[in-house]
Each structure stands twice: as structure tokens, then as C-alpha cells.
């Protein structure tokens, strides 16, 4: 019974800490959606989100977390993050959204001169335990979405290193910790760590991250954590700027 109470308390504290990042957030299941727009349709897609889609998402019970454009938008894309109360709710809410007469009307009107979206990528996630108790950072001018693929069985080692060392060392250099997630892999493969790191602008980010990488405290922490073998197989990192209507700044 005591263990069960502690588990519930830990879950509550994680959600409460995440709520510091986004006011009144109660989501526990998340989705990154990347839309590849058809040629010349990205401005129309952005306008549809701002004028209609976000409101209709909320009507269906979803939480708008963040809306981004990549700094180097070579694939004509828009990336956004939604939150849901839990995994089961996700499909129910999407069913409500796509069957909403208001959405159907907006969708058809927006396609009068051609479809806006060519394809969609999806990533499902849950909050990373122990990595979302940092205070809400000030608004940032640049974000980097960072995705870590670990070697087999090493994800827990990575999360421990972030909790015990990396997050504090980021902040030491002026980098800003935003939410941390682990992916939900439908094929049963090892989850990845996904998080948002930010700074006031890209030049500051690149300078501060270089200082982090050279920090003797980080070098020592990395070496000690890898005494029994490497942890990370690869890191994918993309710079983003939030759209003006994004809740997360």
C-alpha cells in the first residue's frame, strides 16, 4: 500500500512540475506531428492552424503544446506537439475532431485550391520520469529538438545521467531545459529520449552548448557514466523557432 501511494505521489509531482513549463497542463501522453506541406501551401497551413485547427483541437479535448517551424526549412514542414490525458484518450479525441462538422467545413474550404498537406510523421511519447522537475524557463528565441537513440538496454543510464548531471550543467551554461519525454515505440523497440533545449538566440545556443561540451564537470560525468560502456548510439538535433501562436515559448 505504501509503495502504491508513493507511486501515485511521484506521478502527481511529475505532472505538477510539467505544469510549471506549461500553465495548467495535465497531459500524460503526447504526440509530435510533422506536416510536410505541398508546394506554396505552408502559409495557408499555418493560417488554418491559427484560425481554426487549434481551437477545434481544444474543443475535442486535446492540449496544444507547441507549434514550430524549422530554422532551415528545407522540407517545407511544420512541426507541432499535442497533449492528451492518456493514451486511450488520444484516438477518441481524434475521432471527435475529424468528425466535427466545423472541422469538415474548414477542411474542405481550405482545399479549394489544392490539398495543403502532402504527408504526416508521428511520434508518440510519455513524460520522462525524473526529468521534468525543472522550473519554468523564461521565453526563448530558439529551440532545439533533440532525440537520443541509445544502445540496447542503456536508456535508464542516459536518464540517470541527465537527472544527476546534464540538466544542471546545461543550466550552468545558460541553456534552458524544457519538457523531456521518452517515445512510445509501437513495435516494442527501445524508447528514445526526446527533449527541447533552448536559449535566447541561435548564436547564444551554439556558444553555450560548446561551453557545456568542454566543461570539465561534464567531461567527468560522461566518462564516469560510460565506465561500463557507451550509452548513446546517435543524436538527432533540429533548430526550431516557435510560431507566434504557440503556447510554449
Q: Whole-angstrom Cα distance, residue 34 to residue 30? A: 13
CATH class belonging to 25-126: alpha beta
Q: CA 197 from chain center: how many Å?
A: 10
Q: Is the pTM of this model over 0.75?
A: yes
Q: Is residue 125 within 8 Å of 27, Cβ to Cβ?
A: no
CB neighbours of 71 closer than 8 A, spacing ≥ 6?
A: 142, 202, 239, 240, 241
Q: Is residue 38 within 8 Å of 117, Cβ to Cβ?
A: yes
Rounded (10°) CA dihedral 240, 127, 119, 112:
-80
Among 17, 26, 225, smallest CA distance to 130 is for 17
- Give 26's pLDDT tier (boundaries 50, 70, 90): confident
Q: Whole-angstrom Cα distance, residue 25 to residue 27? A: 6
- CATH topology identical between 25-126 and 128-242: yes
Q: How many CB atoms lie within 10 A of CB 217?
A: 12
Q: What percent of the chain has pLDDT over 70?
A: 90
Q: What is the pLDDT of residues 48-68, one digit of tens each?
A: 999 999 999 999 999 999 999
Q: Is residue 27 within 8 Å of 102, Cβ to Cβ?
A: no
Q: What is the pLDDT of residues 158-183, one digit of tens each?
A: 999 999 999 999 999 999 999 999 99
Region 32-43: mean pLDDT is: 98
Q: Whole-angstrom Cα distance, residue 102 to residue 27? A: 25
Q: Whole-angstrom Cα distance, residue 26 to residue 18? A: 8
Q: What is the CATH number of domain 128-242?
A: 3.30.70.100
Q: What is the pLDDT of residues 59-105, one digit of tens each?
A: 999 999 999 999 999 999 999 999 999 999 999 999 999 999 999 99
Beta strand extents in 75-205 (DSSP E only): 77-84, 117-127, 142-150, 176-183, 193-199
Residue boundaries of the structural domains of the chain: 25-126, 128-242
Q: What is the pLDDT of residues 210-240, one digit of tens each?
A: 999 999 999 999 999 999 999 999 999 999 9
What sign has the CA pseudo-torsion 102, 121, 61, 197?
negative
pLDDT at residue 9 greater than cutoff 50: no
Identify the residue whose cell numbers are 560522461: 222
Beta bridge partners of 124: 31
Region 138-142: mean pLDDT is: 93
**Pairing label, strands 232-242, 176-183:** unpaired
pLDDT at residue 15 greater than cutoff 60: no
Amino acid at each position: 500500500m505504501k509503495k502504491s501511494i508513493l507511486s501515485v505521489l511521484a506521478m502527481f509531482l511529475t505532472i505538477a512540475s510539467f505544469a510549471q513549463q506549461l500553465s495548467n497542463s495535465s497531459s500524460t501522453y503526447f504526440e509530435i506531428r510533422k506536416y510536410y506541406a505541398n508546394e506554396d501551401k505552408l502559409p495557408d497551413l499555418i493560417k488554418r492552424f491559427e484560425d481554426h485547427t487549434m481551437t477545434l483541437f481544444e474543443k475535442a479535448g486535446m492540449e496544444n503544446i507547441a507549434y514550430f517551424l524549422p530554422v532551415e526549412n528545407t522540407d517545407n514542414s511544420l512541426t507541432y506537439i499535442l497533449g492528451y490525458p492518456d493514451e486511450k484518450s488520444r484516438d477518441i479525441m481524434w475521432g471527435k475532431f475529424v468528425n466535427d462538422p466545423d472541422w469538415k467545413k474548414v477542411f474542405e474550404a481550405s482545399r479549394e485550391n489544392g490539398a495543403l498537406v502532402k504527408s504526416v510523421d508521428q511520434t508518440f511519447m510519455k513524460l520522462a520520469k525524473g526529468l521534468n522537475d525543472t522550473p519554468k524557463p523564461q521565453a526563448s528565441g530558439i529551440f532545439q529538438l533533440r532525440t537520443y537513440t541509445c544502445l540496447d538496454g542503456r536508456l535508464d543510464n542516459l536518464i540517470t545521467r541527465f537527472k544527476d548531471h546534464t540538466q544542471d550543467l546545461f543550466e550552468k551554461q545558460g541553456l534552458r531545459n524544457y519538457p523531456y519525454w521518452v517515445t512510445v515505440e509501437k513495435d516494442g523497440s527501445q524508447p528514445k529520449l526526446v527533449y527541447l533545449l533552448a536559449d535566447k538566440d541561435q548564436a547564444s545556443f551554439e556558444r553555450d552548448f560548446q561551453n557545456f561540451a568542454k566543461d570539465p564537470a561534464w567531461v567527468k560525468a560522461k566518462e564516469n557514466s560510460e565506465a561500463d560502456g557507451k550509452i548513446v548510439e546517435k543524436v538527432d538535433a533540429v533548430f526550431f523557432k516557435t510560431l507566434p501562436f504557440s503556447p510554449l515559448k
